Structure 1
Amino acid sequence: MSTAELQSWQDRLASYLAAEKRILDSQEYQVGQGQTARRNRRAELEQVQNGIRECQQKIGLLQATMAPRGRRIINLRPR
């Protein structure tokens, strides 16, 4: 696991969060009027939220595997 992979997942999460915000602001919008109007419908909120959860889980896993493991030192003294 590399820091590049972690950064990639973090970038993906940021994109999903931005998409979620856009969906929450407006799910569907229309540009123009009449026959020349163009409509745009955003992705389903549930799918985006599933992507957010997937990214958060993967980031947590990568951070846990990349975390330095400390050495535990125990001093024993004979009696």
Structure 2
Amino acid sequence: MSAEELQNWKGRLTSYLAAEKRILDSQEYQIGQGSAARRNRRAELEQVQNGIRECQQKIGQLQAASSPRGRRIIRLRPF
């Protein structure tokens, strides 16, 4: 695990969260009127939310792997 990889996943999560907000604000919109109008439909909310969960899971795994507790070895000796 590298700090760069963790930052990449955090950046990706930030992008997904921004996309989710835009979708929740308006799924589809139109610019202009009549035959010159352009329509834009955003990505499906479910796909974006799946991406958010994937990023959160990967970030958690990377953080757990880099924490001292994630690497601790405990040896027990009988009395």
**Deviation by residue 1:4-26 (Cα, 9 ceiling, x = unmatched):** 00000000000000000000000
> Which residue does 2:10 correspond to in 1?
10
> Which residue does 1:42 correspond to in 2?
42
Q: CA deviation at 1:61?
A: 0.1
Report the TM-score when normalising by structure 2: 0.87
Superposition pairs for residues 12-27 of structure 1, below 5 Å? 12-27=12-27
Structure 1 or 2: more helix by fraction: 2
Q: CA deviation at 1:68?
A: 2.0
Report the TM-score when normalising by structure 1: 0.87
State the aligned residue count.
72
Structure 2: state its 5+ residue gaps: 75-79
Moved segments of 4+, more than 4 Å: none
Matched residue type, 2:49: Q
**Deviation by residue 1:41-74 (Cα, 9 ceiling, x = unmatched):** 00000000000000000000000000124687xx
Matched residue type, 1:50: N
- RMSD over aligned CA atoms reads 1.3
Structure 1: state its 5+ residue gaps: 73-79
Give aligned-pair identity as a percent: 78
Q: CA deviation at 1:33?
A: 0.2
CA distance in 1, matches of 2:40, 2:17: 19
